[in-house]
Structure 1
Amino acid sequence: MEQKAPRAVIFDLGRVILDFDHNIAAQKIYRFTAKTPNEIYQIFFDSDLTVSFEEGKISPFDFYLRIKELLALRLGYEDFVDIWNSIFFLTPDNLEVYSLAIRLSRHYPTLLLSNINLLHLEYIKKEFSIFDAFNYIVASCKVGAVKPKPVIYKQALELLSLPAEDVFYTDDRPELVQAAKELGINSSVYKGPEKLREDLLGLRFPREVVQ
């Protein structure tokens, strides 16, 4: 029996549709604290505090107050938010994948699945015209769980009203792809737009849509 193409596509956001560099924020914050950029990075982006923020368990202002305390930060809330949001930018590869997502969305349901905090989510909605490529957005800060927790993938499948085997998912982080595979989702590690097109063609998505 000939294999059929999946009936929906799930994209990760960061480093797939939109790029970012956490060091941008760490370097900017450095002027307003006695901590080193590396210490700032660890607290900002590699801590339980950030996970709690991405899961929507603390508010943006409470997150700021906690950061202010941890860094002895000499910076007001609005200025902090501006720096916190300054990490994002679009690359040619991002734009290529965005164009692919637009083409796919004309034939298949598309969904954006992201570990993201509320400040970043609202900022990206306002500043980047990329969400129009997706029928659905599943954000960790709205679900209350981050990838690789199964519940966030299951939320995506529920929105799509499809079984796992009928869905394709791409993400740049291998451990998050593996978590999706364990739920039965067709998944591949994102390694650039050309490899993504190869993966889609390998799953029998139509060439005229993918190319």
Structure 2
Amino acid sequence: MIEAVIFDLGNVLVDFDYTPAAKRMAYFCDKSPEEIVGLFFDAKVTQEFEEGRISAQDFFLNIKKMLNLNLKYEAFVPIWNEVFFLSAKNRAVFALANRLRNNYKTILLSNTNILHYEYLKKNFPVFNVFHHVLTSCEVGYAKPRQEIYQKTLEVLGIPPENVFYTDDRAELVESATKLGIKSFLFTSVEQLKKDLVDSGVNII
């Protein structure tokens, strides 16, 4: 019996697109937007930042050196942050999570860095409907590392077989499944509702 539901954040509750940020940064270095995305959005330093292993200032200094970026920290931060937006899909998932919280423990589990997390908390009211919020930058581990799922189960205090999890990345779903969590790939709101109902969750 499902007792808790874990939601991913990015591309589930909030959409994001790094392209506008990369285009703006391209004005301040000799790299193309495509090169910028390829160089650091999935770079080791970005992962370290997401896991809270380096500070925002150190992250910026690494990026500045990597891109030869002619930009000050104060100007970099808003560019780095303004990649998020809400879609009709996001709003529908939010409404669903808001209903589920009355009968199930709900938890938001996200790979994110401290700059994005603080920005999202101020500008996107998606966190208040969850009983718990766990972020990689606070936990010290990022998905798909099993430590972050183990921490989530510890916070919930519920056996993995009684936990439902949705995420838009297949490798993250696969990792959680290995721990016994009932994990499903998020592809659409309708598919999420079907997966919940098929798992015995009351979504009304």
Q: Same fold (TM over 0.5)?
A: yes
Alignment-mate amino acid for residue 126 of structure 1: K
**Identity across matched positions, percent:** 49
> Aligned equivalents of 1:134 and 1:37: distance in 2?
35
**Partner deviation per Cα, 1:104-155 (whole Å, 9 max, x = no partner):** 0111110011110010000000111110111111100111111110100011
Give the counterpart of 1:145 among 141, 157, 181: 141
> Aligned equivalents of 1:112 and 1:10: distance in 2?
6
> Aligned equivalents of 1:38 and 1:93: distance in 2?
27
| 1:170 corresponding residue in structure 2 | 166
> Aligned equivalents of 1:32 and 1:84: distance in 2?
13
**Residue 111 (structure 1) aligned with residue 107 (structure 2):** yes
Give the counterpart of 1:97 among 88, 93, 112: 93
| 1:82 corresponding residue in structure 2 | 78
Give 1:43 deviation, angstroms.
2.5
> Aligned equivalents of 2:54 and 2:119: distance in 1?
18
1:1-150 aligned at under 5 Å gives the runs: 4=1, 6-150=2-146
TM-score (norm 1): 0.95
TM-score (norm 2): 0.98
Q: Which moved more, 1:120-129 or 1:36-45?
A: 36-45
SS of 2:187's equivalent in the other structure is coil
| 1:203 corresponding residue in structure 2 | 199
Give 1:19 deviation, angstroms.
0.2
Q: Which moved more, 1:67-76 or 1:178-187?
A: 67-76
SS of 1:204's equivalent in the other structure is coil
> Aligned equivalents of 1:80 and 1:30: distance in 2?
12
Give 1:38 deviation, angstroms.
1.4
SS of 1:132's equivalent in the other structure is coil
Give 1:44 deviation, angstroms.
2.8
Structure 1: unaligned runs, 5 residues or longer? none
Q: C-alpha root-mean-square deviation of aligned residues, in Å?
A: 0.8
> Aligned equivalents of 2:33 and 2:149: distance in 1?
34
Alignment-mate amino acid for residue 160 of structure 1: L
Alignment-mate amino acid for residue 151 of structure 1: E
| 1:184 corresponding residue in structure 2 | 180
Structure 2: unaligned runs, 5 residues or longer? none
SS of 2:66's equivalent in the other structure is helix
Q: Aligned pairs, how many?
A: 204
